[in-house]
């Protein structure tokens, strides 16, 4: 059986920056991880030379942590046809994000495709492709992974066909891949819970499994087709541990990093911490530990 590639969204902040991200992944027992290059709610970013990349890369290499995934901030919208300045800013920012990801040695930049803000799905798809054609450098190594979306508001990318329509309009489509989010795809209406392999077969028919390069392994607070996009701690949502464990260990996705973005937990808002090390341990063991999870959901952190 192939080694399980399992990790989570870890922090990157002062003073250790990327080195701190690698250290956190190690503490969590991970062999892959995802970062935002700054806060996901804004586009303020530190210069590349301040990110402690050399030290972080050395520690990751020493501990066989790979690949690294970057997530673009979700406030940029390539699908906006009504505000040219917003589209132009998104293009300029994402060009720089490609450079940051390359410097970090990331293999993938996960990107929410965008929203049509009233102009309609077709217009947004064309606009997203137009933006990607301006962003992509034919010589870049990192791929831009379009994420499967839940369908809240005017989001596009809620069906495999929409993602394929974007890919088909991009000149250097070899620089594009897909991030398959289990919560989003279920919320979009796909039957992840009882027929994951059937969903994967459909993905393969429409897009091709060779493009699936990242899995966001998230439970969902809502039932299939809810279009809500609300992640839940592994084992406590609609999908449940057994379904997500099957996805984590699927031989069809053996080389794809599985990244968790589940919410912080704790007894109250002042005492919140990451469930990821415990979730990682359960996926490695292939078994849900209800006592452990109940404990961390309601008490102070173990460490």
Quick one: tokens of 82? 């009504």
Helix (H) or strand (E) holding 271: strand 271-273
pTM of the model: 0.95
Percent of the chain past pLDDT 70, that is, above it, reads 96
**pLDDT confidence band for 42 (50 / 70 / 90):** confident
How long is the chain? 303
Neighbouring CB atoms inside 10 A of 151's CB total 21
Mean pLDDT of 269-287: 91
* CA 71 from centroid of its chain's CA atoms: 6
Residue ranges of the annotated binding site for Zn(2+) are: 71, 112, 147, 181, 184, 216, 229, 231, 261
Domains of the chain, by residue range, sit at 6-298
Topology of domain 6-298 in CATH is TIM Barrel (3.20.20)
Q: CB neighbours of 182 closer than 8 A, spacing ≥ 6? A: 192, 215, 216, 217, 218, 219, 220, 239, 244, 247
pLDDT tens-digit map of 101-159: 999 999 999 999 999 999 899 999 999 999 999 999 999 999 999 999 999 999 999 99
Helix axes 17-27, 53-62, angle to 10 degrees: 20
What pLDDT is recorded for position 130?
Answer: 98
Mean pLDDT of 226-250: 96
Give CA angle at 151 (145, 157), nearest 5°: 30
What pLDDT is recorded for position 132?
Answer: 98
pLDDT tens-digit map of 167-210: 999 999 999 999 999 999 999 999 999 999 999 999 999 999 99
Residue ranges of the annotated binding site are: 71, 112, 147, 181, 184, 216, 229, 231, 261
């Amino acid at each position: 059986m192939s080694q399980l590639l399992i990790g989570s969204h870890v922090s990157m902040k002062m003073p250790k920056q990327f080195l701190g991200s690698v250290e956190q992944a190690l503490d969590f027992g991970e062999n892959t991880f995802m970062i935002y290059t700054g806060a996901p709610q804004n586009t303020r970013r530190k210069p590349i030379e301040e990110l402690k990349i050399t030290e972080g890369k050395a520690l990751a290499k020493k501990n066989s942590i790979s690949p690294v995934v970057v997530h673009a901030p979700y406030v940029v919208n390539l699908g906006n046809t009504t505000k040219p300045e917003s589209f132009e800013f998104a293009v300029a920012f994402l060009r720089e994000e490609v450079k940051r990801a390359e410097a970090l040695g990331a293999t993938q930049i996960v990107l929410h495709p965008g929203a049509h803000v009233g102009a309609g799905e077709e217009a947004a798809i064309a606009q997203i492709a137009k933006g990607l054609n301006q962003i992509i450098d034919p010589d870049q190594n990192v791929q831009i992974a379009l994420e499967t979306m839940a369908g809240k508001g005017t989001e596009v990318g809620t069906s495999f066909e929409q993602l394929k329509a974007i890919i088909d309009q991009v000149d250097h489509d070899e620089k594009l891949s897909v991030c398959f989010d289990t919560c989003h795809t279920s919320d979009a209406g796909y039957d992840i819970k009882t027929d994951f392999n059937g969903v994967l077969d459909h993905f393969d028919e429409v897009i091709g499994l060779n493009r699936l390069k990242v899995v966001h392994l998230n439970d969902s607070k809502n039932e299939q087709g809810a279009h809500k996009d609300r992640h839940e701690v592994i084992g406590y949502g609609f999908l449940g541990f057994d379904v997500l464990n099957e996805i984590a260990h699927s031989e069809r996705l053996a080389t794809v990093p599985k990244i968790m973005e589940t919410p912080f937990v704790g007894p109250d808002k002042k005492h919140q911490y990451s469930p990821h090390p415990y979730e990682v341990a359960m996926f490695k063991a292939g078994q849900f530990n209800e006592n452990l999870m109940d404990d961390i959901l309601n008490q102070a952190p173990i460490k």
